[in-house]
Structures are given as C-alpha cells and as structure tokens.
Amino acid sequence: MDELKDEYPLAEEQIACYRRDGFVRLPNVLSPAVLEVYGAEFTRLVQALNRQTLPIAERNTYGKAFLQITNLWEHSEIVKEFVLCRRLGKIAAELMGVDGVRIYHDQALYKEPGGGFTPWHADQFYWPLANDNTVTAWIPLQPVPLEMGPLSFCVGSHKLLKNRDMAISDESEERIGRTLNDYAKDVKPFALGEVSFHSGWTFHRAGPNGTGRMRAVMTIIYMEDGMRVAAPKNGNQQVDWDRWLPGAQLGEAIDTPLNPVCYSRRHASEVSK
C-alpha cells in the first residue's frame, strides 16, 4: 500500500527523546487499514509456522511469554513489502542519525491469552554487531491496554553497562529488575497505529496477557547500513551470526541476501521492493 512508501514526519523533539531515553513511542505511524491488511498475513504465517504445542502451564518462562516466529518476510511477498518498507526504515535511520539501515531480522511476538510476562532484557546481548546503531520497531496490530502486556521501558537504560551479559530469563527479570529499581519506567498502553522504537541496549519487559485476546505484535530489527560483524561474545551471538548474517565475514560490512537495505539517504530514489 502507498502509505508504506510515504514519509512519517519526525519532530526534533521525538529524535531527541529517542537519543536521551533509549526509546520513543510514535503515534499514528500506521493506519488501521494497513494494520488490518498486513496483520492478517502476519497472523496467517504465525498459525502456519508455529511449532509450540505445549499448554502454557507446562512451558518455561520464555515459552509462556509469547509465540515467536522469525523472519516472516522470507515466507511471504506481502510481509516482505511491509518489513522492507521505506516508511519504517527512514524512521529508524533518522532516530539513529545514520544515512541508511538494513534489516537484521523480523519476528512476530504473539502473547497468548493467559500468556506470562516477558522478563527484563536488552536485545543486543544476542547480536554479534560492531556498534550500537541498532533499533527495534515494536508494532502492535491492535490496541494494547495494560492488562494485555504492552512493552515497557527503563528510561535511559541504554547508557547502563551493568547486566549486559544476561540472556532473557527468570534470573534477568530478578537481577536486572533489582538494578533498575531506582530508574524511571515507561509503562503505558499502546493505541492503534502507535509504534515504539527502542535501542538495542535499552532494557525492556512486558507484563502478562490477562485478557481473553491474543496480543499480536510484529517487530523489525534494523542496523546501520555499513554495520560490521564483531567476534561473538557468547554462544547466542554465534547462533545469530549463522542464522541472520549468512556468509558475512568477521570485521567486514554486512551485505547478505538476508540483510537488504530498507532505506538509504544516499540513494533516496531506491525503494526496496
């Protein structure tokens, strides 16, 4: 749809907010019509690709948090059109202050009715990337009231160095939560069409879904165009390198078929198809 090719006008205050706080929530990024059309395809693929069969009560904390299906764009031209769109890519580039962005990967995060909390964590723990120019777009496909488990953030936590070595777990919820006890938190519902963008090192979590409806969310992870592969600091980063950066070489700029450019200011006329 043409909306995905149009620019979203970012205000200077919104860019400043992102860089100061490590996240920003932007209203009316996507119309209800776009969310309905593309959301139906996201949901179709989540249902088709989901391999989780255990009842929620029998899963561990991570399994209770959500159904997680990655790189939907590899399975659908409709999803590809959305994930690689100029509108969202340009927002990501402007927030980070870079000339262009590539996709790292996408993932659907569907929190089932009765699904559990998502523990405190920082995403970049998992990524073998050479710098911090990364951002995740969190895109709800419906309004997310507090009782449905919206994403919440610790304000300014992208500047903290402690506990960056923790995978998402019960331990991360307890230890990171304790460390962040004296920091301000942003815990608010999401309106339809509202999208948040958070830095790779911003600590965030989500509450449980206490409603009878699925909390359907699509996410897109962007990295600076020109990002280089860094030596993995843990086993998770090696797994990510193998899966999301196939063929990329240590120390070299990432340019693989799984990491196309979504937006480039230097080549503004190029729009990923």
CATH number of the domain where residue 155 is located: 2.60.120.620
* Residue 244 lies inside a defined structural domain of this protein: yes
* Residue 205 lies inside a defined structural domain of this protein: yes
**CB-CB contact of 123 with 188 (8 Å):** no
Question: Which pLDDT score is estimated for 154?
Answer: 98
Secondary structure element (H or E) that encloses residue 107, with its range: strand 100-111
* Residue 65 lies inside a defined structural domain of this protein: yes
* Residue 218 lies inside a defined structural domain of this protein: yes
| pLDDT tier at 266, thresholds 50, 70, 90 | confident
* Residue 209 lies inside a defined structural domain of this protein: yes
Question: Which pLDDT score is estimated for 268?
Answer: 58
Question: Can you list the alpha helix ranges (DSSP code H) found in 22-169?
Answer: 32-49, 61-65, 77-83, 86-96
Tokens of 226: 């020109």
* Residue 268 lies inside a defined structural domain of this protein: no
C-alpha to C-alpha distance for 155 and 184, rounded to whole angstroms: 6
Coil, helix or strand at residue 76: coil
- pLDDT tens, residue by residue, 9-33: 999 999 999 999 999 999 999 999 9
The whole model's pTM is what? 0.96
Tokens of 134: 């990364």
Count of structural domains, the chain: 1
| Residue-range definition of the domain harbouring residue 152 | 2-263
* Residue 132 lies inside a defined structural domain of this protein: yes
- pLDDT tens, residue by residue, 160-196: 999 999 999 999 999 999 999 999 999 999 999 999 9
* Residue 271 lies inside a defined structural domain of this protein: no
